[in-house]
Amino acid sequence: MKIQSKITLLFLLLSGAILLLLNITIFYLVYKFGFDDFFKRLEARVNISAEVNVFPSSKSRAYQEVRNKYLEKLEAEKAYIFDIDTINRVHIPGHIDVKSDFIGRILRDGNARHKVENTFYAGKVFAKNDKKYIVIVSAADPSGFDELKILQRTLIYGFLVAMVLVYFVGKIFSFYTFQPIRRIISNVKSITANNLHFRLDELSGKDEVTELSYTFNDMLDRLETAFETQNNFVSNASHELRTPLTVISSEAELALNKLDVTPQQREIFKTIYAESEKLNQILSSLLSLAQSGFDGEKQRWESIRIDELVIIASESVKKIKPNSNIQIDFANMPADERLLYVKGNNNLLRLAITNIISNACKYSDNLMVKVSIKVENNKVIISVVDQGIGIPQTELQHIFEPFFRASNTHDYEGHGVGLPLTLNIIRLHKGTIGIRSEVGSGTEIKVFLPVEV
């Protein structure tokens, strides 16, 4: 999931949590205020009922008229008056449904409130002439419950609508927030080995995006310097290093051709000549390895038919190793010849395939090496299977590192640059390499190259 999507989701969750908490708070306050207001109305009626029934006087009639004229008649409103005996007991007729625990709270606290579903009760203790009475008024509040239900639906629908709005606002917010990041990504993608002099636009401000832009530009400065150093080395190393090696090799060869050279001197010159040739091979491999690290823009690209390339690579190996035993299997070739073409540099790809086949022949002591070609998922797959010494499992992850050689290859000549060079070439062609090996049984290397579109 992209960071932009994560921020949108986080923004949605945080906003949803805040809105949910706000809605719960609003509902609770309205619920509490509405019921508290209704209980106060009941308590006012309790006091009026007491004035009329417990403390009758000349004003009782006036209280009754005020109640009838100005006070709203509540739904299912009822008034109860109970006597309290000398031992603080209350006799409640059986047809009256008033909970005993509610009566107990009234006796204990002097007044109390009680609710059963949609029926509200308010009660209070009154004293007259050393005698105590409990006055209770009950009523239903359907309109209050209806208002709460309306409020509940409004809050739920409002919450859902708000979440939809928050989601789109979050997407817009994250889109504009990450717009400078997308611009940086686009600019960085356009920078290759051929235009390392390009730099990101310097942004104004002191935020993290500006700091990221400066950091990228600083990194590009270092990369450009490193690339120029590599280019200069690749351009000059061939001439500067090959010339003295050629002189050493030539002088050693001339010395070997002289008749007056003693046997001991001849052995010395043979060693000098052999080591100079070996050093020349190492230098050629290193230069190829360095050159294969470029982005391919300076190489000549063309359509290459893979089966023909494999045949040429096999013939090259046979010229170098006449005793090699290579079998090319065309059984799985696709019927459509167009699927055998890839886009790349012919010399580099031939070098990569030659390295793989040559290694297979070398480390299998010229036993059968099987090369096959097939096409799957729009990729050409070249498989090279040998019956050689294999590679220890613990060392497989290191075989593409320059100068690394497996622990069981001491009896074979090599410099540890062939497979790293091959990997660089295959990556340059947007391909991949897979390897499977077992010590004593052999190794299989598969090269995957994209079919030319």
Do 267 and 317 contact (CB within 8 A), yes or no?
Answer: no
Q: Taking a C-beta distance cutoff of 8 angstroms, is the pair 345, 303 a contact?
A: no
Q: In this structure, what CATH number is given to the domain that contains residue 223? A: 1.10.287.130
Q: In what order do the strands lie in the sheet with 75-84?
A: 75-84, 131-140, 119-128, 111-116
The C-alpha atoms of residue 156 and residue 145 are separated, in whole angstroms, by: 16
pLDDT surpassing 70 at residue 342: yes
Within this chain, do residues 57 and 97 fall inside the same structural domain, yes or no? yes
Number of domain units in the chain: 3
**Domain assignment present for 181:** no
Residues 352 and 276 in one domain: no
Per-residue burial over 119-141, b if 16 or more Cβ lie within 10 Å, else e, is: ebbbbbbbeeeeebbbbbbbbbb
Out of 259, 291, 323, a domain closes at: 291
Please indicate, yes or no, whether residues 445 and 313 belong to a single structural domain of this protein. Answer: yes
pLDDT at residue 314 in the model: 92
Helices (H), 110-260: 142-177, 179-189, 208-257
Is 273 in the same domain as 360? no
- Per residue in 171-192, pLDDT tens? 888 888 888 888 888 887 877 6
134 shares its domain with 244: no
Q: Which residue has the higher pLDDT, 177 or 86?
A: 177
In a domain, 118, yes or no: yes
Domain assignment present for residue 322? The answer is yes
Return the axis-axis angle of helices 179-189 and 142-177, rounded to nearest 10°.
30
**Which residues on adjacent β-strands are paired with residue 443?**
437
CA distance linking residue 212 with residue 199, whole number of Å? 13
- Kindly state the tokens that stand for 237: 């190393």
Highest mean pLDDT among 189-198, 247-256, 277-286, 319-328: 319-328
Amino acid residing at 28: Y
Q: How far apart are the C-alpha atoms of 13 and 28, rounded to whole Å? A: 22
- Which of the two residues, 275 and 305, has the higher pLDDT score? 305
Q: How confident is the model at residue 238 (pLDDT cuts 50, 70, 90)?
A: low
Residue 95 belongs to a domain with what CATH number? 3.30.450
- 370: Cβ contacts below 8 Å, ≥ 6 apart: 327, 329, 383, 384, 385, 386
Query: End of a domain among 102, 117, 149?
Result: 149
Between 394 and 99, the more confident residue is 394
Domain membership flag for residue 36:
yes
CATH number where 320 lies: 3.30.565.10
Asked if residue 224 and residue 95 are part of one domain, the reply reads no
Residue ending a domain, among 98, 114, 149, is 149
317 and 223 in a single domain? The answer is: no
Residues 243-269, mean pLDDT to the nearest whole number: 83
Angle of helix 263-291 relative to helix 418-428, nearest 10 degrees, comes to 20
Q: Could you tell me if 437 and 445 are in contact, meaning their C-beta atoms sit under 8 angstroms apart? A: no
Q: Radius of gyration of the chain from Cα atoms?
A: 47
Average pLDDT over residues 216-225: 82
Q: Classify residue 277 as exposed, middle or buried by CB count within 10 Å of its CB (0-12, 13-18, 19+).
A: middle
What confidence tier does 296 reach under pLDDT thresholds 50, 70, 90?
very low
If asked whether residues 84 and 142 sit together in one domain, one would say: yes
Are both 333 and 438 inside the same structural domain? yes
Domain that holds residue 83: 3-149
CA–CA separation, 243 and 282 (whole Å):
15
Q: Are residues 325 and 260 in the same domain?
A: no
Top-confidence range, 64-68, 99-103, 288-292 = 99-103
Is 186 inside a domain boundary?
no
Residue 19 domain-assigned (yes or no):
yes
Q: Measure the CA angle with vertex 257, ends 254 and 261; round to 5°.
A: 100
Confidence class for position 37, pLDDT limits 50, 70, 90: confident
Asked if residue 221 belongs to a domain, the reply is: yes
What 3-state class would DSSP assign to 340? helix
Helix, strand or coil, per DSSP, at residue 385: strand
CA angle 188, 194, 199 (to 5 degrees): 40
Strands 325-329 and 368-376: parallel
Backbone angles phi, psi at 5, to 5 degrees: -70, -40
Q: Beta partners for 113?
A: 122
Q: At what angle do helices 3-49 and 142-177 cross, to 10 degrees?
A: 160
Clarify whether residues 117 and 225 are in a common domain.
no
Instruction: Return the structure tokens found at 436.
Output: 């499977």
CA gap 211, 202 in Å, rounded: 10
Structure tokens at 440: 């004593």
Residue 156 lies in a domain: no
Residues 257 and 348 in one domain: no
Give the whole-angstrom CA distance, residue 279 versus residue 263: 24
Instruction: Give the integer Cα–Cα distance in Å for 347 and 421.
Output: 13
Pick from 79, 92, 90: nearest CA to 51: 79
